[in-house]
């Protein structure tokens, strides 16, 4: 199996393509703004077979906005946590956060996947790990044999913790989800936007993020005094001073 990251354009989250000699699976799609470009970029990376499925880490527009288009284009299914299904299907502009991008969330039909859902891909298994906190539906995807976790906005980047103040976000769940990741045996952590985190650095990153959310819980949700309030389309907190 090859694991290929496609950097996001503008507000788009990064995308991850899993591909082997028979099929490909896409994790996250970015917004609908660049969906034709995303299709072209994907076709250049899928060498064998076709796109078999789209897996979504969560419902937000910057993560799932192109899912309906790509599903129609490649004739493949979409899968997301059960909490995301109605918001995706019903053109929900609030909890998908599409309204903050001055955009409409395309109605998107998806199949439910729950914690520990699994899908075989050749000799490997893709496992869904429910990691709420950024949203109630947030899901990470584990490739256990390869020691890889695709973590979405649970970790926007090593140096920027994910927001918990958006609809269905929860600080305590975020802290607990990061602790859950700490209990996994992973060698590679793929965030939604920043550089891939590898090896011993993972423990340092997890510790820093855990310490931050512990401090937020103690402060009853208040940011540290010097940290800026994010703009609506920003999915992470920006530490001050920088981490």
Largest separation between any pair of C-alpha atoms in the chain:
52
Is residue 178 one of the residues assigned to a domain? yes
Domain for residue 226, yes or no? Answer: no
> What's the confidence (pLDDT) of residue 8?
92
Question: Where do we find the tokens 């859902």?
Answer: 117
Q: Identify the pLDDT of residue 214.
A: 98
Which two tokens mark 2? 């090859």
Strand pairing class (124-130; 118-121): antiparallel
pLDDT at 178: 99
- CA dist., res. 200 & res. 39, Å (int): 35
Within a domain: residue 228?
no
Residue 225 maps to a domain = no
Supply the CATH number for residue 69's domain: 3.60.15.10
User: What tens digit of pLDDT does each residue of 8-48 get?
Assistant: 999 999 999 999 989 999 999 999 999 999 999 999 998 77
Residue 241 resides in a domain = no
Domain that holds residue 98: 2-218
Is the residue at 232 inside a domain? no
**In the sheet where 77-81 sits, what is the strand order?**
2-6, 15-19, 23-27, 50-55, 77-81, 111-113
- Could you give the number of structural domains in the chain? 1
The mean pLDDT values, 10 residues at a time, for the chain of 243 residues are: 94 96 96 94 86 98 98 98 98 95 96 97 97 99 98 98 98 99 97 97 98 97 94 96 95
Whether residue 230 is contained in a domain is answered as: no
């Amino acid at each position: 199996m090859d694991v290929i990251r496609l950097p996001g354009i503008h507000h788009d989250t990064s995308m991850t393509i899993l591909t082997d000699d028979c099929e490909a699976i896409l994790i996250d799609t970015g917004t609908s703004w660049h969906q034709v470009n995303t299709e072209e970029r994907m076709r250049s990376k899928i060498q064998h077979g076709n796109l078999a499925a789209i897996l979504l880490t969560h419902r937000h527009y910057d993560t799932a906005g192109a899912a309906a288009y790509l599903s129609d284009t490649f004739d493949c299914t979409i899968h997301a946590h059960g909490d995301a299904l109605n918001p995706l299907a019903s053109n929900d502009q609030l909890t998908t956060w599409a309204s903050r991008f001055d955009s409409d969330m395309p109605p998107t039909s998806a199949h439910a996947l729950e914690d520990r859902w699994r899908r075989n891909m050749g000799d490997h298994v893709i496992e869904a790990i429910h990691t709420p906190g950024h949203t109630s539906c947030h899901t990470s995807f584990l490739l256990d044999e390869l020691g890889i976790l695709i973590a979405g906005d649970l970790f926007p980047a090593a140096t920027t913790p994910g927001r918990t103040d958006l609809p269905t976000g929860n600080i305590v769940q975020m802290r607990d989800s990061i602790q859950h990741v700490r209990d996994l045996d992973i060698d590679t952590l793929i965030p939604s936007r920043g550089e891939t985190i590898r090896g011993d650095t993972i423990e340092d990153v997890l510790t820093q993020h855990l310490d931050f959310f512990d401090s937020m819980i103690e402060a009853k949700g208040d940011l540290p005094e010097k940290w800026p309030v994010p703009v609506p389309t920003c999915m992470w907190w920006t530490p001050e001073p920088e981490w």
